[in-house]
Amino acid sequence: MKSILVCDDDKEIVDAIEIYLQQEGYRILKAYDGEQALQVLKENEVHLLIIDVMMPRLDGIRATLKIREDSSIPIIILSAKSEDADKILGLNIGADDYVTKPFNPLELVARVKSQLRRYTQLGNAAENNRRVYQVGGLVINDDLKEVLVDDEPVKLTPIEYNILLLLVKNQGKVFSINQIYESIWNEDAIGADNTVAVHIRHIREKIEINPREPRYLKVVWGVGYKIEKSK
């Protein structure tokens, strides 16, 4: 059974989310501020975190930054703020998704399932067919879900991994922002520009020696992104 940690200082919201997720067969752990969330994560195996931004003691932003120091579990941020700047901040610090309050509980459940599906795929090595993709010094072993750059391991979140895999498997092909979003998130790309751009920037920071002059992940201005074909 997958365990989900729900962290919000509003107990009613935590309880409501618990009801919907328990109906889907998930085990729910609860916390009411960032400090409690960090403690629960230390003491339990958690497969996904849903965390509010505005909380006492330690807010969701700082808690997420702390968690990302040594964990790549999917993180969905909840916030009453719907502005693009807030969403970008959430994604910038390592969150995988961002849901604005008030939210439809069924939409949250769908997003949880989607994130867990990706995370499970990322953690499960396929048993058949060795699937290794290489572009110069960039190597993705899709059986081990491992990324190496010049023989050094690179730690990616599930979303970052899936974006990079999509581009590396289709070397030389240019993908628009909407194509990337719809391929990875499996939903219509509405306002996807900032979301995809933030993840692309994170990938570049991790795989490129100089992200401003990328060797691998190239932008095709006005069109989209591609992984340069091996020469």
| Mean pLDDT, the chain, integer | 88
Whether 3-123 shares its CATH topology with 132-227 is answered: no
Residue 187 pLDDT level (bands cut at 50, 70, 90): confident
- What single DSSP character describes residue 126? P
What is the CATH number that goes with domain 132-227? 1.10.10.10
Most confident of 23-37, 128-142, 189-203, 217-231: 23-37
- What single DSSP character describes residue 186? -
Does 67 have pLDDT greater than 70?
Answer: yes
pLDDT at site 91 = 84
| Candidate CATH numbers 3.20.20.70, 3.10.129.10, 3.40.50.2300, 3.30.450.40; the one for domain 3-123 | 3.40.50.2300
* CB of 118 closer than 8 Å to CB of 158: yes
pLDDT at site 193 = 76
Residue 230 pLDDT level (bands cut at 50, 70, 90): low
Instruction: Write down the residue that tokens 């922002």 correspond to.
Output: 177
pLDDT at site 42 = 92
Does 167 have pLDDT greater than 90?
Answer: yes
- 196-223: buried (b, 16+ CB within 10 Å) or exposed (e) per residue? bbbbbebbbebbbeeeeebbbbeeeeee
Does 5 have pLDDT greater than 90?
Answer: yes
Report the predicted TM-score, pTM, of the whole model to 2 decimal places. Answer: 0.63
